[in-house]
C-alpha cells in the first residue's frame, strides 16, 4: 500500500483553513482515481509538551505504487495539488510513503519477542 502524507503548518486563519479543507479541498482529493481512503486530523499535542510543529496531518491511501503513479498522471490529482496554495498559508510538506498495517496484539504470548 502507498500513501501521500501531508504535514500542514499552522495556518494564519485556522477557522477558514478548516472550512476550506473540509468543503473545498477534500472533495477534490476524493475525486482522484485510485484513492482507497482519506484520513486527516488536527495535531493536538506532542509527547514532550512542546508546541506542535504542525496543525494538521493528512493521509491519502492507494493500493500500490502503480495506483499512485496512475493517480499522479490524472487531471484530478493536478487539480488537488494546484489547490494547495489556496489554503496552506502555514506551509505544507507532502511526502510519498510506503504503508504497512499490523493488527493489535490481544494475547501477550503472540507478541514479537523483545530484545534484552
Q: What is the pLDDT of residues 77-107, one digit of tens each?
A: 999 999 999 999 989 999 999 999 899 998 8
> How many angstroms separate the CA atoms of 80 and 86, rounded?
10
What's domain 11-100's architecture? 2-Layer Sandwich (3.30)
Rounded distance between C-alpha atoms, residue 55 and residue 13, angstroms: 11
Report the pLDDT value the prediction gives residue 101, as an integer from 0 to 100: 87
Q: What is the pTM of this model?
A: 0.85
Spans of all domains in the chain: 11-100
What is the spatial order of strands in the sheet that 56-62 belongs to?
35-42, 56-62, 2-8, 92-98
**Is the pLDDT at 24 greater than 60, yes or no?**
yes
Amino acid at each position: 500500500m502507498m500513501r501521500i502524507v501531508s504535514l500542514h503548518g499552522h495556518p494564519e486563519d485556522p477557522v477558514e483553513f478548516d472550512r476550506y479543507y473540509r468543503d473545498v479541498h477534500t472533495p477534490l482529493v476524493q475525486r482522484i482515481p485510485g484513492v482507497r481512503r482519506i484520513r486527516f486530523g488536527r495535531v493536538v499535542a506532542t509527547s514532550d509538551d512542546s508546541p506542535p510543529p504542525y496543525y494538521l496531518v493528512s493521509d491519502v491511501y492507494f493500493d500500490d505504487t502503480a495506483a499512485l503513479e496512475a493517480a499522479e498522471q490524472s487531471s484530478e490529482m493536478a487539480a488537488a495539488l494546484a489547490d494547495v496554495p489556496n489554503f496552506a498559508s502555514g506551509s505544507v510538506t507532502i511526502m510519498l510513503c510506503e504503508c504497512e498495517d499490523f493488527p493489535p496484539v490481544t494475547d501477550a504470548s503472540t507478541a514479537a519477542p523483545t530484545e534484552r
